[in-house]
Chain A
């Protein structure tokens, strides 16, 4: 269902019967790398709660996501990481019956403002999905379609396609068969094609929802290499089930978990910090339990 409407807005009066989310510990200044101190966060999320109809999926998530770095969301199944990342580019608007409370600011301006169109947002915040989903078209057309619709002139398209495929580490493998169907590629190649397709739009942010979970280890490795190269130009947020991947690839890691109470199961953000610190000395016991494999 294609639907561009969204219900937005924070409602200050609603919180009286809710328990407050645990304080999100922030890494001390001295632990931060130099760029954090100067750059404003790309995303600033304030007490986000998300509902699928009557069921609450996320509660009071507050987080800052910095630019030109890779932030990983980890946590057990059902903790709302995918729901949360989809809020960042308003993909959840497509699902009828969903509701969002709280605020998300993207580059200082509200993401869910009444004057903001979801389509414009998604041109600046791209997404790569869990299963590769190329269009049933040629490799060239997959990458060129969106820029063409956005007004890029035909003369510049060839160059844009080549650039995007090069950045996605796919050019050498497909340069002789650009006219072939995207489905003739292997799973790993298709996922890199999806990344090239996302890059061709020249977004500022790339969201990745478990991009390697459908791929074999070799393909996974290549995509992780790719992420490390891309972060110099893009802000990358990745959801992953694979803790080792988060440890290898990300600069910051955020741990989500499921909070079980009488009202049911709700996803909450436990802590966020530099990846190395999270994995060696997490502040919250729940994080430590998850990382050491005691649950989840």
Chain B
């Protein structure tokens, strides 16, 4: 009996230690960033731009980037995921998966470099929203494809059979029968993609440039401000104010991430409840 108790205690201690190893640095990071951001915190953060003491332009730039990634990576990724899950066979399927996996392992800086060489220089777009959105989308595409595919595969097969038995076309089956129950899973995949995009720097360094003005909606020839750049640059600038601004940008980025993750968890909880009701 005692031996088992000792083993239990040892196991639970190991688990608690592991939990601490994860929780402590996370908490410490959060606390330290917010602590360092304190001097710069204030309403001016949201209403002044980086040529003054705010980061309004960077916040708007990041949000604009997220919108662009949602549209581009969301559209292409969900379509590819649907194709892989429902229509691809044989060689097409193998190739698609192969390339998707290679893309997933591609370093973000390499993607940024390619974006620079082709989009910024070759296409003469310059540092621009289009180049930045395309590079970021390529980066997160494998995640969207994978989560869409998994979400669709989790939809029970009996629905496909029922739909086929009624003579419904493949398009109708996918759009009206399979996608609605898969939607929560797809949405949480999209949110993961957005969370990744929020914190990325390397691809954007080569494709977005920076600007002290609020971002315009122009796709090309206009440089784009974004939060992670502020974190990066201001840290190297002299003066306490710059460092505080850098920390403030970091704090805002973290807040954005936390919001995205919280929304993602709410969505997947809804998804779990919906699929539970489907299994009878």
Q: Does A3 contact B (CB under 8 A)?
A: yes
Is B181's CB within 8 Å of the partner chain A?
yes
Contact A136 B180 (CB under 8 A): yes
- B:228-280 near A, CB below 8 Å: 274, 277-278, 280
- The answer, among A2, A181, A198, for a CB contact under 8 Å with B165, is A198
Q: How far is the CA of A204 from the CA of B168 in the complex (A)?
A: 16
**Given contact pairs A1-B89, A2-B170, A183 touches B165 in the complex (Cβ within 8 A):** no
Which residues between 135 and 183 of chain B lie within 8 Å of chain A, taking CB atoms? 158-170, 172-174, 176-177, 180-181
Q: Which residue of the partner chain, among B161, B173, B176, B277, contacts A183 with CB atoms under 8 Å?
A: B277
* Residues on A with beta carbons closer than 8 Å to the beta carbon of B169: 119, 149
Q: Is the CB of A133 within 8 A of B161?
A: yes
Cross-chain contact of B158 among A1, A89, A133, A183 (Cβ < 8 A): A133
Smallest beta-carbon distance A161→chain B, Å: 14
| Number of chain B residues whose Cβ lies closer than 8 Å to a Cβ of chain A | 27
Provide the bound-state CA to CA distance between A198 and B168, in Å.
12
Q: Which residues of B contact A132 (CB under 8 A)?
A: 280
Question: By the criterion CB–CB under 8 Å, are B167 and A121 in contact?
Answer: yes
A126 to B174, CA, bound (A): 20
- Given A135-B177, A149-B169, A197-B166; 5 other pairs, CB 8 A cutoff: A1-B89, A119-B169, A136-B180, A190-B280, A194-B162
Kindly state the separation between the CA atoms of A135 and B160 in the bound complex, as whole angstroms.
10
- Bound together, the chains give a CA A191 to CA B151 distance in angstroms of 26
Q: Is the interface of B mostly helix, strand, loop or mixed?
A: helix
Least Cβ–Cβ distance between B163 and chain A, in angstroms: 8
Contacts of A121 in B (CB 8 A): 167
Name 11 interchain pairs, CB-CB below 8 A, sorted by A: A119-B168, A119-B169, A122-B164, A122-B167, A127-B165, A132-B280, A135-B159, A136-B181, A149-B169, A190-B280, A194-B162
CA distance A126 to B280 in the complex (A): 23
Q: Does A168 contact B (CB under 8 A)?
A: no
Which residues from chain A contact B176 at a C-beta distance below 8 Å? 145, 149
Residue B87 at the chain A interface, CB threshold 8 Å: yes
Residues on A with beta carbons closer than 8 Å to the beta carbon of B174: 2
Report A-chain residues with C-beta under 8 Å of the C-beta of B89: 1, 3, 96
Decide yes or no whether B101 CB sits under 8 A from chain A. no
Whether, in the assembled complex, A51 has its beta carbon less than 8 Å from a beta carbon of chain B, the answer is: no
Query: Which of B89, B168, B173 has most chain A Cβ within 10 Å?
Result: B168
Q: Are A183 and B159 in contact (CB under 8 A)?
A: no
A183 CB to closest chain B CB, in angstroms? 5
Whether A131 touches B166, Cβ cut-off 8 Å, given contacts A1-B89, A149-B172, A183-B277, is: no
B167 close to A146 (CB less than 8 A): yes
With both chains docked as a complex, state the minimum distance between the C-beta of A146 and any C-beta of chain B, in angstroms. Answer: 5
Q: How far is the CA of A4 from the CA of B162 in the complex (A)?
A: 15
List of A residues within 8 angstroms of B165 by Cβ: 89, 91, 122, 126-129, 198
* Residue pair A2, B173 in contact (C-beta under 8 Å): yes
Which A131-146 residues sit within 8 Å CB-CB of chain B?
131-137, 145-146
**CB pair B280 A136 closer than 8 Å:** no
A123 to B176, CA, bound (A): 18
Known: A136-B180, A183-B277. A198 touches B166 (CB 8 A): yes
A64-100 residues with Cβ-Cβ distance < 8 A to B are 89, 91, 94, 96
